[in-house]
Each structure stands twice: as structure tokens, then as C-alpha cells.
């Protein structure tokens, strides 16, 4: 078995295109990949977590170059490690706070060593990131594993030219087509073609990418697990929570208007604003609103969900699934959401709140009013959130990923 080098110093000859055979069409086939380990059906059940199972540990290289989703990366890596995998997470410094400490896996911050530290959130970091990105790709290629699993590709224009997986590979399409380059269908077709498998979080995600030319046999649906928590319950029965980073596609203006129409309700906005708030504050004039702004540490996240009666997700159709929604369900807080992407799927499946047509502010207000005014309806929705927490676990997701890895490794 090859050993990972102890030092990953970049040399001049490392900078450039990461070599591999290019797949220029989705229907071109890769060379047959050698299998190692045992058959998929022998992967341990979610209750075994790999203990006592006789197979060689799968070596998994997880990559989130821009550190877009440290909580997701951490939970998946830890669950894979509990299941017996040898996991290394390659990422960059998280610009918004402290990343979770590794639990059973290793973490290296190989990407963007200067721009993520020197410039923070400043736009000045972007030109430096362009220079650093090929260096990170070169460092990634020097690492050995059985499977490379990429979570995010932050520079698709560069990646289309420079990135070639050097291992059997998986890509998770958290955003089916990221907002900035969603119109570049051919660009993403070329990138998707380089991976052996594409993971999506919903049936909507599978249908969307299949409709854009990704072969169905390469697509796998692995539902996004919940982020389980047990916040101290302090809600007053009338608090609607809008949680997460504040961006235009999150629909905060719709949340404000829906809470205004819902009757006896107050709005709690908890998250880090990545756009100006003046128009939202003006829209909320006369409404009872509490603003808890900034990147929230875990105790403040728990406090927000402990104060929430329901959570609202009036998102635009620009993403497939929401970590904020899965965090709400994991805290036992029902969700009221627009029917966009795959966001509605866990809410419907577990009857963990209400789903209304996208853009229907009146329907959003009516759904909020129903849950806030009807204790029995609210309790049924809370029971649905608890069912989601019991079923959408990280250990179950780890088992699904291990089965996927063994298809290609």
C-alpha cells in the first residue's frame, strides 16, 4: 500500500495542468477501475459502523478547497471514520470562524494559504486565489487514497482547464449548478464528465442533472442528513426564525412580509449578512423583529433554534438542498418552505412542516399562521422533524457513501 508523504512542499514542476485523460463527452468511458476490498453487499449495516468486519479500510480523500461547508465536511468525515474508513479532509482556512476539530480523521489546509488568512472576506483576496488555486490542485494530486471525493469546485473556469482527478472520483453537487456559472451548461458538462459518480441530495437533483446530460448511471441520491441538536426549548409559540447567511436568494423580504401577514407573530433573523440590510430593515418597519447578526458560534445557533417556534425558508430556485433547513429539523423545529429544488422533499416526506408554491407569499403566511395558531398541527410537525432526525443520520449517509466508493475503487 502506498504511503502518504509526510511533507507536501510545492515544487515549481508541480504548477500546471493536473494530468489525466480528459473525457470530452459524457458518454465516453473511463478505463476499468481496479476493485479492492469486498463486495458492496458486505458493507456493514448502519448499526455496525465497521466494527468486527473483515475488510481493508477504504482510504478516502475528501476535498472542500474553499471551505464552503465545514460542518458538512466534518460530520461526513467523522461518520466515515466511525464506519472504518481512513479519511483525510483537504480544505482551506474557514474565513468565518473556527472549523470543527477533526474527530477520527485528519485535516490539512492546503488551499489558499495566503488569501484565506491575509484578506479575510475582502474582495482583494480573489486575484490571489486565482494564483493559489493551481498550487492547491497540485498539492491535492500528490496525496494518495482509494477514492477522491470533491465537495465543491470554487473556480469552475479554472477547473475545466486544470483539474483532472488522479483517483477514482466522486463529486457532490450541493448546488446543482452554482449560481455564478449556472448559465455555463457546457462548462459544467465537461467538469461532471471527469467524475465516476455524482452525488445529489434529492430526486429533484437527479432529474435536473440527468436532464442536463449527466448519465443516470453516474448519479446517486444520498439525502442530506440533519444536523442533530437538543437546544433548550424557550420559544414563546409565535417566533418565526429566518436562519443562515443572508443572501439575495434566501428570500428574506418574503419572510418579512409573510410574518407581517401571519398575525400574532414575531421574526427572528439570525445569520451573517452577505448583502446590505437597509431594504430589509425598511420592509420590517413596524414589525416585531429581532436581528442577531454575524457568524454565529454553536451556542448561539442552539439559542436561536431554542427560541424558534417554526423556521421559514422562502428560497429562490437556485439550490437543491439547504443545510439551514436540515439544521432546523435536527433541532426539532418545523420548517415552512417554498417548493424549490429538493428543499421540500424532507419536509414532505416526514410531514415536518408545510410546503407552499414558490413565490406565494400569501401561502407562506397562511402556513405560518396555521402552525402558530394550532397547537396540534404544530406538535404533529414537530414529531415529523423528530422522525427526520431519527432517519436522516450521518451514519446512514456514511454507509451509502462507502457503498458508492466500493463501486469505483
Q: What pLDDT shows up at residue 175? A: 85
Residue 243 C-alpha from the chain's centroid: 15
The stretch 283-296 carries a mean pLDDT of 96
Q: What pLDDT shows up at residue 155? A: 86
Kindly state whether residues 159 and 297 are assigned to the same domain.
no
pLDDT digits (tens, 9 = 90+) for 226-250: 999 999 999 999 999 999 999 999 9
Q: Is residue 229 part of a domain?
A: no
What CATH number is given to the structural domain containing 369? 3.40.50.2000
pLDDT at 309 over 90: yes
Q: Is residue 111 part of a domain?
A: yes
Kindly state whether residues 403 and 386 are assigned to the same domain.
no
Kindly state whether residues 265 and 213 are assigned to the same domain.
no
Pairing of strands 147-150, 169-172: parallel
Q: Is residue 334 part of a domain?
A: yes
The C-alpha cell at 8 is 507536501
Kindly state whether residues 79 and 217 are assigned to the same domain.
yes
Q: Is residue 11 part of a domain?
A: no
Q: Is residue 43 part of a domain?
A: no
Q: What pLDDT shows up at residue 119? A: 66
Give the three-class secondary structure for 9.
Answer: coil
Minimum mean pLDDT range among 25-34, 94-103, 126-135, 309-318: 25-34
Query: E strands of 222-325, at which residues?
Result: 239-243, 266-271, 289-293, 310-313
Q: What pLDDT shows up at residue 149? A: 99
More confident residue, 182 or 298: 298
pLDDT at 2 over 60: no
- Yes or no: say if 340 and 364 are a contact pair by the CB < 8 Å rule: no
Kindly state whether residues 330 and 273 are assigned to the same domain.
yes
Only one residue has cell 460530520, namely: 75
Q: Is residue 48 part of a domain?
A: no
pTM: 0.82
pLDDT at 1 over 60: no
Kindly state whether residues 269 and 358 are assigned to the same domain.
yes
- Yes or no: say if 59 and 146 are a contact pair by the CB < 8 Å rule: yes
pLDDT digits (tens, 9 = 90+) for 157-204: 888 888 999 999 999 999 886 666 666 778 888 999 999 999 999 999
Q: What pLDDT shows up at residue 307? A: 98
- Yes or no: say if 99 and 72 are a contact pair by the CB < 8 Å rule: no
- CB atoms under 10 Å from CB of 352, counted, come to 28
Q: CA of 400: how far to CAs of 77, 172, 177, 182, 234, in Å? A: 13, 13, 23, 28, 36
pLDDT at 275 over 60: yes
Q: Facing residues of 86 across strands? A: 59
Domain span holding position 285: 239-392
Kindly state whether residues 121 and 200 are assigned to the same domain.
yes
Q: Facing residues of 171 across strands? A: 150, 198
The stretch 254-280 carries a mean pLDDT of 97
Our count of domains for the chain comes to 2
Q: What percent of the chain has pLDDT over 70?
A: 83
Kindly state whether residues 210 and 255 are assigned to the same domain.
no
Kindly state whether residues 215 and 328 are assigned to the same domain.
no
pLDDT at 348 over 90: yes
Kindly state whether residues 92 and 206 are assigned to the same domain.
yes
Q: Is residue 2 part of a domain?
A: no
pLDDT digits (tens, 9 = 90+) for 9-46: 333 333 333 333 333 333 334 433 334 443 333 334 44
pLDDT at 7 over 90: no
Kindly state whether residues 96 and 196 are assigned to the same domain.
yes
pLDDT at 399 over 60: yes
pLDDT at 122 over 90: no
State the Cα–Cα distance between residues 382 and 377, nearest whole angstrom: 9
Q: What pLDDT shows up at residue 205? A: 93
Kindly state whether residues 282 and 376 are assigned to the same domain.
yes
Burial tier of 36 (Cβ tally within 10 Å: 0-12, 13-18, 19+): middle
Amino acid at each position: 500500500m502506498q504511503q502518504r508523504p509526510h511533507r507536501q512542499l510545492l515544487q515549481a514542476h508541480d504548477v500546471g495542468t493536473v494530468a489525466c485523460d480528459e473525457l470530452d463527452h459524457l458518454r465516453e468511458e473511463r478505463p476499468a477501475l481496479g476493485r479492492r476490498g469486498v463486495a458492496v453487499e458486505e458493507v456493514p449495516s448502519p448499526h455496525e459502523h465497521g466494527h468486527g468486519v473483515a475488510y481493508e479500510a477504504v482510504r478516502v480523500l475528501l476535498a472542500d478547497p474553499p471551505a464552503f461547508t465545514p460542518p458538512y465536511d466534518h460530520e461526513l468525515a467523522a461518520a466515515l471514520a466511525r464506519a472504518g474508513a481512513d479519511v483525510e479532509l483537504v480544505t482551506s482556512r474557514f474565513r468565518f470562524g473556527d472549523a470543527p476539530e477533526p474527530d477520527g480523521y485528519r485535516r490539512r489546509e492546503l488551499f489558499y494559504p495566503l488569501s484565506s488568512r491575509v484578506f479575510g472576506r475582502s474582495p482583494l483576496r480573489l486575484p490571489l486565489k486565482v494564483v493559489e488555486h493551481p498550487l492547491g490542485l497540485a498539492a491535492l494530486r500528490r496525496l494518495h487514497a482509494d477514492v477522491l471525493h470533491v465537495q465543491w469546485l470554487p473556480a469552475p473556469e479554472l477547473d475545466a482547464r486544470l483539474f483532472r482527478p488522479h483517483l477514482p472520483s466522486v463529486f457532490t453537487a450541493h448546488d446543482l449548478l452554482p449560481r455564478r456559472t449556472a448559465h455555463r451548461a457546457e462548462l459544467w458538462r465537461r467538469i461532471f464528465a471527469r467524475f465516476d459518480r455524482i452525488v445529489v441530495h434529492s430526486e429533484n437533483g437527479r432529474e435536473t442533472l440527468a436532464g442536463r446530460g449527466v448519465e443516470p448511471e453516474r448519479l446517486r441520491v444520498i439525502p442530506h442528513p440533519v444536523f442533530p441538536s437538543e437546544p433548550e426549548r424557550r420559544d414563546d409559540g409565535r417566533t418565526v426564525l429566518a436562519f443562515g447567511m443572508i443572501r439575495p436568494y434566501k428570500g428574506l423580504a418574503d419572510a418579512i412580509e409573510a410574518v407581517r401577514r401571519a398575525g400574532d407573530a414575531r421574526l427572528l433573523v439570525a445569520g451573517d449578512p452577505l448583502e446590505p440590510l437597509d431594504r430589509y430593515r425598511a420592509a420590517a418597519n413596524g414589525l416585531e423583529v429581532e436581528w442577531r447578526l454575524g457568524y454565529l458560534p454553536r451556542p448561539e445557533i442552539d439559542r436561536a433554534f431554542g427560541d424558534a417556534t417554526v423556521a421559514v425558508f422562502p428560497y429562490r430556485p437556485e439550490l437543491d438542498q439547504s443545510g439551514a433547513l436540515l439544521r432546523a429539523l435536527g433541532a426539532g423545529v418545523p420548517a415552512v418552505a417554498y417548493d424549490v429544488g429538493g428543499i421540500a422533499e424532507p419536509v414532505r416526506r416526514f410531514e415536518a412542516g408545510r410546503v407552499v408554491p414558490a413565490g406565494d407569499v400569501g401561502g407562506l403566511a397562511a402556513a405560518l399562521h396555521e402552525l402558530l395558531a394550532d397547537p396540534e398541527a404544530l406538535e404533529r410537525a414537530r414529531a415529523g422533524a423528530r422522525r427526520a432526525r431519527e432517519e436522516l443520520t450521518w451514519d446512514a449517509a456514511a454507509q451509502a457513501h462507502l457503498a458508492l466508493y466500493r463501486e469505483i475503487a
